[in-house]
């Protein structure tokens, strides 16, 4: 089912719309939350559910263009997982796989673009391929450069260069639009 039909269902028949959105994007949301929450299954499940509840609550407030539903859901998932991660950091010390202690500021440093989600989403959607796919994988799914290179059939150096140039372009446009970064 395409995104426009999912949005219509969300507005007219929320339960069916949520079912279709979850069916189409549930795996992506789970991957994003796992990258941030490090396999804490209970928190991951809750973030996935929270993501789709937030989508449902905001359906009438957001005007979607073609191809933006995936990015919008990815942003919600990332933000929900980061919020959950910060809460976990406040409640107790969190350890990642290699036993390093991670603080809330560490995760904030990984977030390259700190601005209005709609502006960033628009800018990323305007990127050509494979840059658009690289940015989504790196900054929304938190994939490593090596993973991206393998999945897209590029060299690691090529992916790094595209990220560098893309970040410079995004920063310049965000500054021009008055978004604080």
CATH code of the domain containing 33: 1.10.1740.10
DSSP 128: P
Residue 173 has pLDDT above 70, yes or no: yes
The number of angstroms, rounded, from the C-alpha of 174 to the middle of its chain's C-alpha atoms is: 18
Structure confidence by residue, pLDDT tens digits, 119-139: 667 777 778 888 888 888 887
pLDDT cut 90: percent of the chain above it: 8
pLDDT in the model for residue 73: 83
- Identify whether the C-beta of residue 32 lies closer than 8 Å to the C-beta of residue 2: no
Please count the other Cβ atoms lying within 10 Å of the Cβ belonging to residue 69: 21
100 in the same domain as 89: yes
Report d(CA 121, CA 115) in Å as an integer: 10
pLDDT in the model for residue 181: 52
Structure confidence by residue, pLDDT tens digits, 101-123: 444 444 444 443 333 555 667 77
pLDDT in the model for residue 149: 93
Structure confidence by residue, pLDDT tens digits, 53-108: 888 888 776 665 555 777 788 888 888 888 887 777 665 544 444 444 444 444 44
pLDDT in the model for residue 99: 40
Region 160-176: mean pLDDT is 84
102 in the same domain as 116: no
Q: Per the structure, how many domains does the chain have?
A: 2
- Identify whether the C-beta of residue 70 lies closer than 8 Å to the C-beta of residue 56: no
147 in the same domain as 88: no
For residue 27 the two structure tokens come to 């795996």
pLDDT in the model for residue 180: 54
117 in the same domain as 32: no
103 in the same domain as 67: yes
153 in the same domain as 80: no
102 in the same domain as 20: yes
- Identify whether the C-beta of residue 181 lies closer than 8 Å to the C-beta of residue 115: yes
Domain boundary among 58, 90, 111: 111
99 in the same domain as 22: yes
DSSP 64: P
Biggest CA–CA distance in the chain, Å, is: 47
Residue 159 has pLDDT above 90, yes or no: yes
95 in the same domain as 68: yes
pLDDT in the model for residue 160: 92
**Distance (Å) of CA 21 to CA 1, 14, 74, 115, 170:** 9, 10, 12, 25, 29
20 in the same domain as 61: yes
With CA atoms as reference, report the closest residue to 152 among 131, 170, 127. Answer: 131
92 in the same domain as 14: yes
Q: How many residues are given for the chain?
A: 181
Region 141-164: mean pLDDT is 90
25 in the same domain as 89: yes
**pTM greater than 0.75 (yes/no):** no
For residue 41 the two structure tokens come to 């299954």
CA dihedral sign of residues 1, 70, 59, 76:
positive
Residue 2 has pLDDT above 90, yes or no: no
pLDDT cut 70: percent of the chain above it: 75
Whole domain around residue 117: which residue ranges? Answer: 112-181
């Amino acid at each position: 089912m395409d995104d426009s039909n999912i949005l219509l269902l969300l507005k007219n028949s929320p339960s069916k719309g949520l079912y279709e959105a979850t069916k189409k994007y549930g795996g992506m949301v789970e991957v994003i939350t796992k990258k941030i929450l490090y396999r804490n299954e209970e928190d991951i499940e809750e973030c996935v559910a929270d993501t789709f509840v937030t989508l449902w609550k905001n359906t009438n407030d957001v005007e979607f263009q073609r191809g933006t539903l995936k990015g919008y859901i990815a942003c919600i998932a990332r933000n929900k997982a980061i919020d959950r991660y910060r809460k976990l950091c406040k409640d107790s010390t969190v350890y990642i796989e290699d036993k390093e202690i991670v603080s809330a500021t560490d995760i904030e440093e990984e977030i390259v673009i700190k601005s209005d989600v709609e502006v960033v989403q628009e800018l990323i959607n305007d990127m050509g391929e494979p840059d658009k796919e690289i940015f989504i994988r790196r900054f929304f799914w938190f994939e490593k450069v090596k993973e991206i290179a393998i999945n897209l059939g590029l060299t690691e150096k090529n992916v790094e260069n595209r990220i560098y140039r893309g970040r410079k372009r995004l920063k310049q446009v965000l500054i021009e639009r008055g978004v604080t970064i």
